[in-house]
Amino acid sequence: MHIYPDAKAVVRALAPDEPVICNRPQAAARAARFFAENFPGKSMYAVKANPSPELLQILWDSGITHFDVASIAEVRLVRGLLPEATLCFMHPVKTKSAIAEAYKVHGVRTFSLDTHDELAKIVEATEGAQDLNLLVRLRVSSEHSELSLAAKFGTDLIDAGSLLQATRQHCDALGICFHVGSQAMTPFAYVQALERVRVAIVEAAVTVDIIDVGGGFPSSYPGMEPPPLEDYFALIHRHFEALPISYSGELWAEPGRALCAEYSSMIVKVEKRRSDELYINDGAYGALFDAAHVAWRFPVRALEDDLTQPLEEFAFYGPTCDDADYMKGPFMLPADIQAGDFIEIGMLGAYGAAMKTRFNGFGVAEAVVVADEPMASLYTGERKDPRASDNVVSLR
Ligand SMILES: *Cc1c(COP(=O)(O)O)cnc(C)c1O
């Protein structure tokens, strides 16, 4: 396979009229090794963040052996690629046929749930199996995260006791899982959630074997530079150790974004300029879904060498005919950028390429491999002083 030095080399070679995804296998491998070696428990990759087969193989080769899958299609995909992988079906609402196929055909033994109905469904679909790991999803606060996951799933504390007691009757190992929301900007998000877990365990008075702190581990974006992941791991470990669980209790996590954000960037072309708005060839229905729908800011750089003016704020329009195909940014680019120029948009490995649709006939993108560093990284060993950033809670 041809490896380009960087996005500029791709533009010189291809002058692409369609967007091009630039993948960095070395960056994904580095993230996977970091979690495999430093997280004080088991790291399973949340497949929804980016289900590309090449990425799944890289993560597996770099020490990630467990995968958080949320649909039967994800179960089949990962099982087809990685026959030895451990799959955990962590969507708390599943169809009976999906549970049955996952259990009987694909060897899945771990399921999450947040209601008595779902527990009954799992028991029925697995015909009362005795070898299940069942994790009760607890609703926790998303207040420290950029994207909330607090509204949809999770049992409230008031109901957790009876659900934990009932689930205990039907499993080999009992767990509690939660999700603090995506891009958690402080490790205290996990501390707070683990405090709620403690209350649930005490109230239920059952033996708990697995604590799964879910996803939410951050990556680095403009205006969202988190403290080092080591701080998250250390605080999670300390508060996990203090929980009243069984002696052989296990700690799990489900990182999505943190394992793959650095994997991909995208080259787009400016088709038109109107004042400080650039019309580019990818957008809300493509890899820039979050840039449009939750005003996520991704790092950008112009790929032309002849642009000389200082950086200025721009907004983007995507290629479809929909007004909602708009990304307010601001995206910082040279003031003299114009139609025909190319831009690289970074940190799109998570919830980027995975979101592409074919709406309006757009959405095709070639993928190439590049060798340079991602535009930002949490894995290069540089430690920012958390007090220097105004968007994090000080650890002191
Ligand atoms: C989306 C999701 C994840 C991954 O979340 P990130 O914020 O990308 O780390 C993990 N677990 C569950 C259950 C999810 O829904």
Is residue 201 within 8 A of residue 243, CB to CB? The reply is yes
Confidence bin at 384 (pLDDT 50/70/90): low
Closest atom of ligand 1 relative to the 92 alpha carbon: 13
Is residue 315 within 8 A of residue 276, CB to CB? The reply is yes
Q: How far apart are CA 4 and CA 178, in angstroms?
A: 40
Give the predicted TM-score (pTM) of the model.
Answer: 0.94
Q: Determine the average pLDDT of the residues in 283-293.
A: 95
> C-alpha angle 73/109/91, rounded to 5°?
50
Q: Determine the average pLDDT of the residues in 27-40.
A: 98
Residue 390 has pLDDT above 60, yes or no: no
**How far is the CA of 176 from the CAs of 35, 102, 137, 145, 163, in angstroms?**
21, 21, 6, 20, 11
Q: How far apart are CA 258 and CA 273, in angstroms?
A: 34
Residue to substitute in 44, 74, 146, 149 for testing ligand 1 pocket (most ligand atoms within 8 angstroms of CB): 149
Q: Is 364 exposed, middle or buried (0-12, 13-18, 19+ CB in 10 A)?
A: exposed
Residue 395 has pLDDT above 60, yes or no: no
43 Cβ inside 6 Å of ligand 1:
no
Residue to substitute in 90, 176, 179, 180 for testing ligand 1 pocket (most ligand atoms within 8 angstroms of CB): 179
- pLDDT value, residue 228: 96
Crossing angle, helix 72-81 and helix 96-104, to 10 degrees?
Answer: 20
CA of 48 to the centre of ligand 1 (A): 8
Q: How far apart are CA 144 and CA 178, in angstroms?
A: 14
Q: Classify the phi-psi angles of 228: left when phi > 0, otherwise alpha if psi is within -120 to 50, otherwise beta.
A: beta
Closest atom of ligand 1 relative to the 149 alpha carbon: 15
* Strand ranges in the chain using DSSP code E only, listed in sequence order: 3-4, 20-23, 42-46, 66-69, 86-89, 110-113, 133-137, 145-147, 173-177, 182-184, 210-212, 250-253, 264-274, 277-280, 300-302, 311-317, 326-334, 342-345, 366-370
Q: Tell me the domains of the chain and their CATH numbers.
A: 3-22+262-370 (2.40.37.10), 40-254 (3.20.20.10)
Residue 270 has pLDDT above 90, yes or no: yes
CA of 47 to the centre of ligand 1 (A): 8
Q: What is the DSSP string of 263-287?
A: GEEEEEEEEEEETTEEEES--TTTT
pLDDT digits (tens, 9 = 90+) for 45-96: 999 999 999 999 999 999 999 999 999 999 999 999 999 999 999 999 999 9
Encoded tokens for 90: 């962590």
Instruction: Tell me which residue has its CA closest to atom 13 in ligand 1.
Output: 90
Residue to substitute in 183, 254, 257 for testing ligand 1 pocket (most ligand atoms within 8 angstroms of CB): 254
**How far is the CA of 324 from the CAs of 167, 288, 299, in angstroms?**
44, 12, 21
114 Cβ inside 6 Å of ligand 1:
no
Beta strands 366-370 and 20-23 are: parallel
Q: How far apart are CA 287 and CA 314, in angstroms?
A: 18
Residue 17's CB: how many other CB atoms inside 10 A? 9
Strand partners, 111: 89, 134
- pLDDT value, residue 361: 84
Residue 2 has pLDDT above 90, yes or no: yes
pLDDT digits (tens, 9 = 90+) for 197-249: 999 999 999 999 999 999 999 999 999 999 999 999 999 999 999 999 999 99
- DSSP class of residue 155? B
Strand partners, 277: 274, 315
Strand partners, 133: 110, 173
Is residue 126 within 8 A of residue 132, CB to CB? The reply is yes
